[in-house]
Amino acid sequence: MSTRHARRRRLLALTTSCGLGMLSIGMPAQAAMDVALVSGAFRRSIQVSDIAHLAKTEEPRGLLSDLLKLSGQDPAQVAELLNKNLDVPLVLTSRLMNTRIGEALTRRIAQIIYPITSSESSVSVPAIRAAVIGGLQRPEGLTAVSFLEAYPNPVMAVNLPALFTVIEKAESIAGLVQFFSDSPLDGLKEPNP
């Protein structure tokens, strides 16, 4: 193992233990307060508390109420999606996120969601990792709401054109898997004989 790699692992372990230590002694961690929908110069923010309220009560409020009416979405179905629990083991998920495949996938997701202050992958990728790991540690497990509540930046941006591109390409689960596995993983695939 190279010295640089070993130093990186020690630093990662130190920051993780400090973060977990702060959580265990009750120090509040910064969490997303708003989700900013961004498309070029357009930007509208939805409060995370409104998203959590919808998930809990199936009653939309604020801008979220207007967006659901405009798009014709049923609040009960959206609430169900927000409460959907992704049941994955914490340790395995953490390890997978730090593999080449996990990093490639996370970089791809970071093109869609990122801290509003910077869309650079050096900032957005660790934010996604922190939100996934933080969400998994919550009693309800990893849900859309727990992900947002664990996101380490006050405003999480959602790049609407990038999101719509994924939605258009993902007409089915197979299409979604194909979209995420094609381009970011090209260098990892074995050459065909």
Q: Going edge to edge, which strands form the sheet with 113-115?
A: 42-47, 34-39, 155-159, 113-115
Tell whether 167 is covered by a domain.
yes
Tell whether 2 is covered by a domain.
no
**In terms of residue numbers, what domain contains 136?**
31-186
Tell whether 74 is covered by a domain.
yes
pTM: 0.70
| Mean pLDDT of the 4-26 span | 47
Tell whether 73 is covered by a domain.
yes
Tell whether 23 is covered by a domain.
no
- 61, 52 contact by CB (below 8 A): no
| Mean pLDDT of the 158-168 span | 83
Name the average pLDDT for the chain.
Answer: 78
